[in-house]
A and B are shown apart, each in its own frame.
Chain A
Amino acid sequence: MTDSGTAPVDRLVSMSAHVVARAGADLRDAHESAKLVPYLRELWERRSYIRHVAFNELRSRQITSVLGSFWHLLNPALTIGVYFIIFGVVIKTDRGVDDFLLFLTIGLFVFQFGQKSTIDGSRSIINNKGLIKAVRFPRALLPISSTVTEALASIPTFVVAYIVALVSGTDITWRWLMLPPLLLLMTLFNVGTAMVAARLTTHFADTTQILPFIFRLALYMSGVIFSVDAYVEDNPLANTLFTLNPYYCFITLARWSISAGNLQTDLLVSAFAWSVVSLVGGFLWFRAAEERYARD
């Protein structure tokens, strides 16, 4: 046995505390993924990562544009302008809608919030390959971060929605306060879809290419740019289908919050159910492939 730099007994004494600490852990199977509770704890310990990434991303988005933060309000306003000209003035899909501008604004912004969150989530793993290879952390951190970033980045668009409501003379009611909690609920839903999209992208790289088309289809099926009330009222099957469409639920509830209409409890129940299913199901499905994400 070779002689060490320090006497073995001294080393033993100085190391005993470390050994006791390290020996505390039990042997476990290297391939058994972290149990649910430790995994969630590790995620929670990294909440400052989410904050850091979100604020840096928001800052960099502002720095890169000349008009600065003003652009964050102008961009959604221009988007609405384009859609309003096409669908309200040219194609006239505004039949049966009292205030088409507000109708379109809320529908489009809520829908785009879901769309952007999912598409950003689909890139969250492949965009962070370097980090994944260099650092050990629960990978669910990445789609969660991208969704939180998108939620914060969407705040100006909803400010624009309130402005549009004011300008078009909508009464301010207590219901206006219900939009933030509704969007918070939708953020939970978005975390789930972001996780599903993130895992799908590691199976099929084309996911990021296909998603915009899926959302384009969903745009027309969620009552964003035209009212579906006419279909829903006489047709129980259509009513059921729209109630099962989470985007339709969130959009209609947001319209209830800002403009008018009765609160449809079945839509509220559906939105809650979708949020739970998406968050829990998306998380479990994402985590089941945890070891995939570190591959080349």
Chain B
Amino acid sequence: MPVTDQRPVEQPIGALLGTPLNAVEIDHADIRYRVYAERHLSARELVGRGFRGRESTEVHAVKDVSFDVAVGEALGIVGSNGSGKSTLLRAIAGLQSLESGKIRVRGDVGLLGVGAALKPTLSGFRNVVLGGLAMGLSRAEVDEKMDDIVEFSGLGDAMARPMQTYSSGMRARLTFSIATLRIPDILLIDEALAVGDKEFRERSLQKVREIQATAGTVIMVTHNLNEIRETCSRAVWLDQGVKMADGPTNDVIDQYEDQ
């Protein structure tokens, strides 16, 4: 397989136009959330505590972060574990509320996380159909794209097996493939490619470039810095919820690695 890693990354369309058109505007976002001892409280415990609620600790995950992402831009977010990267993505997707500040988005937003099995007891094929229909595609549209999905995922015969028999890498490949059935205006990728093998990652990154080519916006979080170097023209470095650097990918990653 030829090494395509050296291919220069595309500039966002905003930079070419000279008038930046933002897909995402993050304005002094501050996020705190509470972590509970256990997910659900049973009725007995609720009564036992006199309805006072659960024991919890507060996490100040994102601290006064601001930056914009242009339409057609691919932005990478780097940072160590617990730096608030995933929390910020969830907030952009509207799944995590802000303590203060504002996040504005243009168009629809899709968050792609580490591959969960959609329906573990159903086969790969059936999961593609289910995912496609839930996205609002018609049955005919899903059937039409099925061959592409099978090819893109590279799962072959495993598509006929229940998804619960898949390895984490295979799950990730299928979930990403299903996500490509309908690409949102703003695609957020949270380590979704990390567990796939090298070949699949390469194909996924190619997909990300295609998305950009249709002026789609991509924000990705990954610990694989090469992926960000290959795909993103710009990077943001978060450390313990604070924005440390923002700029051209190589500059930011160099700073991050030199810390």
Contact = CB atoms under 8 A, between A and B. Distances in A.
Contact of A29 (B95, B104, B126, B130): B104
Given A26-B106, A204-B41, A291-B97, A19 B11 contact: no
Interface stretch (B55-63, B178-186, B218-226): B178-186
Given A19-B215, A30-B92, A130 B8 contact: no
B95 A134 contact: no
A61 interface: no
Interface residues of A, number: 50
Nearest to A9: B16
Interface residues of B, number: 67
A206 B41 CA distance: 8
B105 A22 contact: no
B16 A46 contact: no
Interface string A24-56: 011111111100000000100110110011001
A11 B11 CA distance: 10
Nearest to B44: A206
Given A19-B13, A210-B43, A136 B135 contact: yes
Contacts of A28: 104-106
A48 B138 contact: yes
B133 A49 contact: yes
Interface in B119-177: 119-120, 126, 129-131, 133-136, 138-139, 175
B184 A18 contact: no
Interface of A: 1-5, 8, 11-12, 14-15, 18-19, 21-23, 25-33, 42, 45-46, 48-49, 52-53, 56, 128-131, 133-137, 141, 204-206, 210, 291, 294-296
26 contacts: A1-B11, A2-B233, A8-B16, A11-B13, A11-B213, A14-B213, A18-B215, A21-B215, A22-B185, A27-B22, A29-B104, A31-B97, A33-B94, A46-B133, A49-B130, A49-B134, A56-B126, A131-B130, A131-B134, A133-B116, A134-B175, A135-B131, A136-B135, A291-B94, A291-B97, A296-B39
Interface of B: 7-11, 13, 15-17, 21-23, 25, 39-43, 46, 71-72, 91-98, 102-113, 115-120, 126, 129-131, 133-136, 138-139, 175, 178-179, 184-185, 213-216, 233
